[in-house]
Structure 1
Amino acid sequence: MRVEDHLGRQVDIPVPPKRVVSICPAITETLFSLGLEQEIVGRTRYCIYPQNLVEQVTIVGGTKEVDYDVIASLQPDLIIAEKEENTIEIIEELEAHFPVFVFQIESIAEAYRMILDAGKITGRQEESKKLVEEITGSFQPLPQNHGRAAYAMWRKPYMVVGATTYISDVLQTLGFANPYTTYEGRYPVVDIAALQKEQLDVLFLSSEPFPFSQKHKDELAAYLPNTSIRLIDGEMFWYGARMKEAGHYFKQYFT
């Protein structure tokens, strides 16, 4: 089957693929949710969900560096990557030897597209449609909030989510205005002054990739006395299968 991936590349994929390597954690979790535990033969060390299933799958490296020899030994007939998570150098090296389908997820709508297309290229169309229906149900209706909000995901230096990111789209869907969408880059580096300048109503401190905790919340509170600083579960901002759980989490978190 010749298909077009999310970057407009033409990819020839066997129907259905029998040996799949996924090098994006959220997509790996999604593939398992579609019932592909027998087909998934390779994943990154960061692909940690579902825990009871990924432990049986060979680790091929990380998201920014992979072991090409290990991947070759797995003889994959399909490799699944994501534009932001994986580098162009990795994709170019792998596509010289194997079919590589690249997703691009920068919004909730593109997350739905990823799930449906993942089902299409793996022969799990019905499962993918059902998953999207379940996620749509959990996301409707989401609580509607008001005010200016930022989502910090790194410290030293502080980094927040900016434009064309899935997380920012979630914030906007929840009713928040993210002032950092006007800043340069998808994950702008900011200092205390930049946090103060935007007069934030809410500052979310994510649990990952940097594990913000109460001490970091207290530290920032001294500089942002008029901002509600809240710790939040960063895994609830993963796209794909985790969205089903995330919808319920947001409803509880914001009540």
Structure 2
Amino acid sequence: MNKTVVDRVGRSVTFTFPPKRIVSLCPGITDTLFALKLEEKIVGRTRFCIYPKGEVETVPAVAGTKDIKLEAIHNVQPDLIIVEKEENTKEIVEELEKHFPVYVAEVQSVDDAFRMIEDMGSLTDRSEAARQLISAIHEQFESLPKVAGERVSYVIWRKPYMVVGKDTYIHSLLERMGFVNPFTEADGRYPVVTAEGFKNADLDYVLLSSEPFPFKEKHFEEFLEMMPDTEPILIDGEMFWYGPRMVEAAAYLRKQLSRFQH
């Protein structure tokens, strides 16, 4: 049967329910669909969809997050394509919706991540599995220790330096743990920051993510030159992905947070 829903940017989407051939163009959503036991219904992904390892590789990569292979997507004949507002571009949505039902999700906070999992369950007739996943994440997140308002920056890019700002899942997660992110006052969700900007931010720690730019310990020196009193820390960026990684992330973050506890 056909089902019509309103997606997270207000578009009406009509598709065959439950969908039997799904293309997901967002890594966290692809991971979520696998966690909902939909592996036999996922027929396309992006090349950045790397979880769950050992399973996702069997699904054809038909796109990046900012580029698509339209012919490859036509070849897998999806009856539903799922994208995410930040991960994918408006142009991609406009091109794909000429040919297929396209549902746009939006994740800008931890609460949005829970809502996305619930939505994926509803879209695919896996609501009970979605509830179980949300419950498992809640259970882990409730035991996260809190820090005492330390000021941090989460750096995602070099040349130019770019950091996590407002209205992002990563900022929401940092805030949930008790951190203060001074760059939420800057324009944009991923603002560019100068050396002067870092110096003026009065940071306790600078978190250097392993992705999308692969920060390493060799980059510590440039931050210590800018901010001698700020400790640089390498962070596994994949532990700040939403979806099923949130269960695994909780243990990782508990371990990382122990250094911030007084």
TM-score by length of 1: 0.98
Mapped to 1, the partners of 2:109 and 2:126 lie a distance apart of: 22
Query: What SS is found at the alignment partner of 1:221?
Result: helix
Mapped to 2, the partners of 1:60 and 1:100 lie a distance apart of: 15
Query: What SS is found at the alignment partner of 1:194?
Result: helix
Q: Are 1:19 and 2:33 matched, yes or no?
A: no
Q: CA deviation at 1:33?
A: 0.7
Kept in 2: contact 1:107–1:166 (CA 8 A)? yes
Q: Could you say which residue in structure 2 is the equivalent of 1:115? A: 117
Alignment of 1:143-158 (within 5 A): 143-145=145-147, 146-158=149-161
Query: What SS is found at the alignment partner of 2:63?
Result: coil
Query: What SS is found at the alignment partner of 2:167?
Result: coil
Kept in 2: contact 1:157–1:189 (CA 8 A)? yes
Q: Could you say which residue in structure 2 is the equivalent of 1:129? A: 131
Q: Are 1:249 and 2:252 matched, yes or no?
A: yes
Mapped to 2, the partners of 1:177 and 1:103 lie a distance apart of: 27
Q: Could you say which residue in structure 2 is the equivalent of 1:234? A: 237
Query: What SS is found at the alignment partner of 1:60?
Result: strand
Q: Could you say which residue in structure 1 is the equivalent of 2:170? A: 167
Mapped to 2, the partners of 1:248 and 1:95 lie a distance apart of: 39
Give the letter for the 1:111 counterpart.
A
Give the letter for the 1:152 counterpart.
V
Mapped to 1, the partners of 2:151 and 2:4 lie a distance apart of: 44
Q: CA deviation at 1:222?
A: 2.0
Q: CA deviation at 1:148?
A: 1.1
Aligned-pair Cα RMSD in Å? 0.8
Kept in 2: contact 1:108–1:169 (CA 8 A)? yes
Deviations 1:121-146 (A, max 9, x none): 01111110000000000101321112
Give the letter for the 2:65 counterpart.
T
Mapped to 2, the partners of 1:138 and 1:218 lie a distance apart of: 35
Give the letter for the 1:151 counterpart.
Y
Query: What SS is found at the alignment partner of 1:230?
Result: strand
Q: CA deviation at 1:213?
A: 0.6
Q: Could you say which residue in structure 2 is the equivalent of 1:33? A: 35
Over the matched positions of the two proteins, sequence identity in percent amounts to 52
Kept in 2: contact 1:13–1:121 (CA 8 A)? no
Q: CA deviation at 1:175?
A: 0.3
Mapped to 2, the partners of 1:133 and 1:172 lie a distance apart of: 21
Mapped to 1, the partners of 2:144 and 2:56 lie a distance apart of: 31
Q: Could you say which residue in structure 2 is the equivalent of 1:85? A: 87
Kept in 2: contact 1:139–1:248 (CA 8 A)? no
Runs of 4+, deviation exceeding 6 Å = none
Give the letter for the 1:154 counterpart.
W
Mapped to 1, the partners of 2:250 and 2:46 lie a distance apart of: 26
Q: CA deviation at 1:13?
A: 2.1
Kept in 2: contact 1:19–1:75 (CA 8 A)? yes
Mapped to 1, the partners of 2:199 and 2:145 lie a distance apart of: 26
Q: Could you say which residue in structure 1 is the equivalent of 2:194? A: 191
Moved more, 16-25 or 137-146: 137-146
Q: Could you say which residue in structure 1 is the equivalent of 2:221? A: 218
Kept in 2: contact 1:202–1:229 (CA 8 A)? yes
Q: CA deviation at 1:191?
A: 1.4
Mapped to 1, the partners of 2:17 and 2:135 lie a distance apart of: 25
Give the letter for the 1:48 counterpart.
I
Alignment of 1:95-106 (within 5 A): 95-106=97-108
Mapped to 2, the partners of 1:111 and 1:26 lie a distance apart of: 9
Q: Are 1:140 and 2:142 matched, yes or no?
A: yes
Give the letter for the 1:15 counterpart.
F
Can you give the 5+ residue segments of structure 2 that lack an aligned partner in the other structure?
A: none
Q: CA deviation at 1:218?
A: 2.3
Q: CA deviation at 1:15?
A: 1.4
Q: CA deviation at 1:202?
A: 1.1
TM-score by length of 2: 0.96
Deviations 1:31-84 (A, max 9, x none): 111101100000011111112111111111201000111101111000000000
Q: Are 1:6 and 2:8 matched, yes or no?
A: yes
Q: CA deviation at 1:248?
A: 1.4
Can you give the 5+ residue segments of structure 1 that lack an aligned partner in the other structure?
A: none
Query: What SS is found at the alignment partner of 2:8?
Result: coil
Deviations 1:222-244 (A, max 9, x none): 22111121111100110111111
**Across the two proteins, how many residue pairs are aligned to each other?**
255
